[in-house]
Structure 1
Amino acid sequence: MAGQDEYDHLYKIILVGDATVGKTHLLSRYIKGTLPKAPTATIGVEFATRTVPLAVGGTVKAQIWDTAGQERYRAITSAHYRRAVGALLVYDVTKAQTFQNCTKWLEDLRNNAEPDIVVMVVGNKVDLVEKDPSLRQVPFEQAQAWAQSKSLMFYESSAVTSFNVKHIFEDLLQEIYTQRTKVKSDRYNDNSTQGGMQLRHNPPQRQAGCCT
């Protein structure tokens, strides 16, 4: 069995989104299996690591960076976008403004992270909606349609109940591997010819993840 320090790939992942949407809770639930005992606002950037066996592609060591959502920390947090190959763009399903602000967060990612960064939109706090459906301000279908229009993955989740927490992190890691492998394959095949014919195989696009 592979040790904690043995891995095939090293991926930097960042969590972005408005303050109080639950980024720190999601990370704590995934890494520790528990919620923060005394939750406080993230100041600047915090990070954790986890070694994850992929369904396909070996083992990934994920460096997961939790960024502050407050405007005053934007200069600090955007500097940590560099070399990030994946991002969870988190909003609160009970606060429409946090979803509307996803547009500016996505723009920040596009401007500061790797050009081929894989982004998953995550609607968090569905546990609140399960208790009281009237609290929902962002319809599932609306968020899913927006994510698809931007070619982003999409899930809803709850750090409180653990709903989809494992999936959002590990499906993102798997998609990063899939996309990066496809790019390498396409580059190789672009340079391969036989009898004047280009040898190229484009596997079908994987559907962005979602839930019901």
Structure 2
Amino acid sequence: MAGYKAEDEYDYLFKLVLIGDSGVGKSNLLSRFTRNEFNLESKSTIGVEFATKSLNIDGKVIKAQIWDTAGQERYRAITSAYYRGAVGALLVYDVTRRSTFENVGRWLKELRDHTDPNMVVMLIGNKSDLRHLVAVPLEDGKTFAEAESLYFMETSALEATNVEAAFAEVLTQIYRIVSRKAVEASDDGNSSTVPTKGQTINVKEDGSVFKKIGCCSS
């Protein structure tokens, strides 16, 4: 088709969501991973935004479509459409603000209320560069993650520490689950469930969900 570029090709498309309190650095984690940008003056925007990036995992091109709450979290009004079709999540808190860590349990409950129980979730302690201001020790994050069976990593969007690693780990674990399911399905003789090249995994085709939603759109 006209205008089709080779870089648009991918084997799998996985939707990830970023959740957590306002101001923990979700948007900068997204921009650092997808565009290698960090904006110290970044403001919360209202609506839903997403960006994409492709990684090579086990010889397959995995395209991540990462959704950012973009200000909605301040109103606790994240909609089911935001979570729909997501297969992975990064649950972010700010290591310098204890309250953002204390709210992680509420975010996790909301996530589990709206998504598949097999979803891959990573707990992220962001702003690890502000070591002199740390209010949430590394061990606290690890302990919570272990208790809830989450992956865990501390990151710095500012210094680009562990950002790529965190997203890559989530995507790798999702890919392994999908691959295992595909193998199990073929072993059962039901080859029709094996994902084909370029197939979207568990991401709804509802076009309205994929548009950038402004604050006042009806």
Query: Under a length normalisation based on structure 1, what TM-score does the superposition of the two structures give?
Result: 0.80
Secondary structure at the counterpart of residue 127 of structure 1: coil
Identical-pair percentage:
43
User: CA separation in 1, counterparts of 2:148 and 2:183?
Assistant: 24
Give the paired residue count.
184
Does the Cα contact within 8 Å between 1:82 and 1:114 map onto a contact in 2? no
Q: Which residue of 2 aligns with 1:200?
A: none
Match of 2:151 among 144, 150, 153: 153
User: CA separation in 2, counterparts of 1:98 and 1:37?
Assistant: 19
* Corresponding position: 1:116 with 2:125: no
Secondary structure at the counterpart of residue 176 of structure 2: helix
Deviation at 1:72, TM superposition (A): 1.5
Deviation at 1:115, TM superposition (A): 3.0
Q: Which residue of 1 aligns with 2:128?
A: 126
Q: Which residue of 2 aligns with 1:163?
A: 161
* Corresponding position: 1:139 with 2:137: yes
* Corresponding position: 1:47 with 2:50: yes
Match of 1:183 among 162, 181, 186: 181
Deviation at 1:167, TM superposition (A): 0.4
Deviation at 1:45, TM superposition (A): 1.3
Q: Which residue of 1 aligns with 2:24?
A: 21
* Shift in alpha-carbon separation, 1:95–1:176, aligned structure 2, 3 A: same
Give the stretch that moved more between structures: 136-145 or 14-23: 136-145
Match of 2:65 among 40, 63, 66: 63
Does the Cα contact within 8 Å between 1:17 and 1:102 map onto a contact in 2? yes
* Corresponding position: 1:32 with 2:35: yes
Secondary structure at the counterpart of residue 31 of structure 1: helix
Secondary structure at the counterpart of residue 114 of structure 1: coil
Paired amino acid for 2:24: V
Deviation at 1:183, TM superposition (A): 3.1
Give the stretch that moved more between structures: 11-20 or 59-68: 59-68
Deviation at 1:128, TM superposition (A): 0.6
Across the aligned residues of Structure 1 and Structure 2, the Cα RMSD in angstroms comes to: 1.9
Deviation at 1:64, TM superposition (A): 0.5
User: CA separation in 1, counterparts of 2:173 and 2:179?
Assistant: 10
Query: Under a length normalisation based on structure 2, what TM-score does the superposition of the two structures give?
Result: 0.78
Paired amino acid for 1:163: T
Paired amino acid for 1:3: A
What are structure 2's unaligned runs of at least 5 residues? 190-218
What are structure 1's unaligned runs of at least 5 residues? 193-212
Deviation at 1:66, TM superposition (A): 0.6
User: CA separation in 1, counterparts of 2:182 and 2:172?
Assistant: 16
Cα shift readout 1:168-192 (whole Å, capped 9, x = no counterpart): 1111100110122223334555x47
User: CA separation in 1, counterparts of 2:65 and 2:18?
Assistant: 11
Cα shift readout 1:94-128 (whole Å, capped 9, x = no counterpart): 11111111111111111112332100000000111
User: CA separation in 1, counterparts of 2:44 and 2:74?
Assistant: 13
